[in-house]
Structure 1
Amino acid sequence: MSALLEIRGLHAFYDQGRVLHGVDLEVGAGEIVSLLGRNGAGRSTTLKAVMGMLRCHGSVRLDGIELIGLKTFQITRHGMAYVPEERAVFPTLTVQQNLLLGQLRQEPAALDEVWRLMPQLAVRKHVAAGLLSGGEQQMLSLCRSLMGKPRLLMVDEPTEGLAPDMARTVAQHLSALRAQGLGILLVEQKLGIALEISDRVLVMGHGRIVFGGTPAQLRASPAIRQKWLEV
């Protein structure tokens, strides 16, 4: 069975500087794959390149459809969703209004699904997003991406700056989405969370994939962790 997301030979550039040097990776439906690495390794750049936000070349296929050369809104319509690190909620709009901005088509049931997934947002649906806690804003950003009914979700540092309990809640929601068949490409700095919820992990260094395997294989590779992950 072919992967849902297939990236082959992906190179990406900021101005004239090359940041990605031939990245290859795959994500299947119902699978969480985590991109690990130090700051500057190229993890966030990979997500932005996939979303058509950077100049790049290579191949990015979602369910067999080539995405390279498409605009970001076209990539979204093909079933890709992206949750940026900065969350990017609209602070003066309510929770419900923020969610409706993520709809690609009129599907009233989409809101009901979000309320069932995260009932803590349902009770605050008429509250301005700027008044939410950091964790609630992260969940709002995640749920807004789900309003478009994506097949693959890319999430950049969802637990950054969150208290441990809220970070674990976010991780549990990602696991629940995987159980529903969603493919997830996750950039996560907290190694413990990534190893706990991922099916596979990829380690990036200097714009390349330098390790790929299961969480158990990474735990059994102290040299890889020391060289590419540990400070």
Structure 2
Amino acid sequence: MSKTLDNALDIQVKGLNVFYGPVHAVKGVNLTIEAGKITAIVGANGAGKTSTLKAIVGGVKSSGTVLLGDESINHLPVHERVRKGIVLCPEGRGIFYSLTVKENLLAGAYLNKKPDLDFVFDVFPFLKDRLNQIAGTLSGGEQQMLAIARALMANPRYLLLDEPSLGLAPIIIDKIVDVVKLINSRGITVVLVEQNTSVALSISHYGYVLENGRVALEGDAKQLLGSDLVREKYLGGVKK
């Protein structure tokens, strides 16, 4: 089943700050997430990537402005941002291990009156035959795919993926990459947070490099991937 989304709006983040007690984790970050594109946010562990995503979905207290088109959504709680199509697939999968695959999927659709299982099966065909399987018995790669599928059940216009390749074998990472590109081809805007800089920038349209809570670099993702500075700091000096 094809999925197309009309009238998509950019998300703009202006002067975003996130504190955890005395720790200033995100320091005045400005981002533009262009509708219909894949935007990468990369950087080392602790750079502020996850906190930035959580602030966009309303999952952490922050200051600054988050705009959906021209509308500020700062006042909206998480579930209202989900209603507007902004959905986070968190780091570490966060699936319900003791529930079945089907129960996990339906949990993702709790705000969606018309959950689209056909779309999920189109992206993840293997799930159709695993609906009654306990989620905790899936392989690590399958659990990650289930986590993404559960996020898709919320009918996102904007899918925020936090470290989807973390801890996975290269062959599984390749599958995740294909899934991200397929999802984006159906009209869903993707924000991809990754420590795996090469993977993230290779499939994205635009990229941001965070360092110590600030945007250190931004630009066309392919140009960033070819940057001497990015290559030296994040790709082990290996020329791509």
> Which interval holds the TM-score relative to the shorter structure?
over 0.9
* Matched ranges for 1:110-189 at <5 A: 110-189=116-195
Q: Is 1:60 equivalent to 2:31 in the alignment? A: no
Question: Does the 8 Å contact 2:10/2:33 carry over to 1?
Answer: yes
Measure, in 2, the Cα distance between the counterparts of 1:164 and 1:201. Answer: 22
Select which of 14, 17, 22 maps to 2:20: 14
Measure, in 1, the Cα distance between the counterparts of 2:154 and 2:203. Answer: 24
Q: CA deviation at 1:29?
A: 2.0
Measure, in 2, the Cα distance between the counterparts of 1:141 and 1:4. Answer: 25
Q: CA deviation at 1:221?
A: 2.0
Measure, in 2, the Cα distance between the counterparts of 1:148 and 1:100. Answer: 9
Q: Is 1:107 equivalent to 2:153 in the alignment? A: no
Question: Does the 8 Å contact 2:40/2:221 carry over to 1?
Answer: no
Measure, in 2, the Cα distance between the counterparts of 1:194 and 1:78. Answer: 25
Q: CA deviation at 1:213?
A: 1.1
Measure, in 1, the Cα distance between the counterparts of 2:203 and 2:166. Answer: 16
Q: CA deviation at 1:116?
A: 1.6
The 1:224/1:192 distance shift into structure 2, 3 A limit, reads closer
Residue 103 (structure 2) aligns with: 97
- The more displaced of 171-180 and 68-77 is 68-77
Runs of 4+ residues deviating >2 angstroms: 62-65, 223-231
Unaligned runs of 5+ in 2: 1-6
Q: Is 1:24 equivalent to 2:11 in the alignment? A: no
The 1:217/1:4 distance shift into structure 2, 3 A limit, reads same
Question: Does the 8 Å contact 2:202/2:222 carry over to 1?
Answer: no
Measure, in 2, the Cα distance between the counterparts of 1:70 and 1:93. Answer: 30
Q: CA deviation at 1:26?
A: 1.1
Residue 193 (structure 1) aligns with: 199
Measure, in 1, the Cα distance between the counterparts of 2:157 and 2:142. Answer: 23
Question: Does the 8 Å contact 2:89/2:162 carry over to 1?
Answer: yes
Q: CA deviation at 1:82?
A: 0.2
Q: CA deviation at 1:149?
A: 0.9
Deviation per residue, 1:75-105 (Å, 9 max, x gap): 1111100011111111111111100111123
Instruction: Provide TM-score, normalisation by structure 1.
Output: 0.93
- The more displaced of 212-221 and 180-189 is 212-221
The 1:23/1:3 distance shift into structure 2, 3 A limit, reads farther
Measure, in 1, the Cα distance between the counterparts of 2:29 and 2:64. Answer: 9
Query: Percent identity at matched positions?
Result: 38
The 1:2/1:51 distance shift into structure 2, 3 A limit, reads closer
Q: Tell me which amino acid in the other structure corresponds to 2:24.
A: R
Measure, in 2, the Cα distance between the counterparts of 1:2 and 1:222. Answer: 34
Question: Does the 8 Å contact 2:40/2:208 carry over to 1?
Answer: yes
Residue 4 (structure 2) aligns with: none
Question: Does the 8 Å contact 1:203/1:228 carry over to 2?
Answer: no
Q: Tell me which amino acid in the other structure corresponds to 1:96.
A: K
Q: Calculate the aligned-residue CA RMSD, in Å.
A: 1.9
Select which of 222, 228, 238 maps to 1:216: 222
Q: Tell me which amino acid in the other structure corresponds to 2:130.
A: R
Q: CA deviation at 1:228?
A: 6.3
Question: Does the 8 Å contact 2:209/2:216 carry over to 1?
Answer: yes
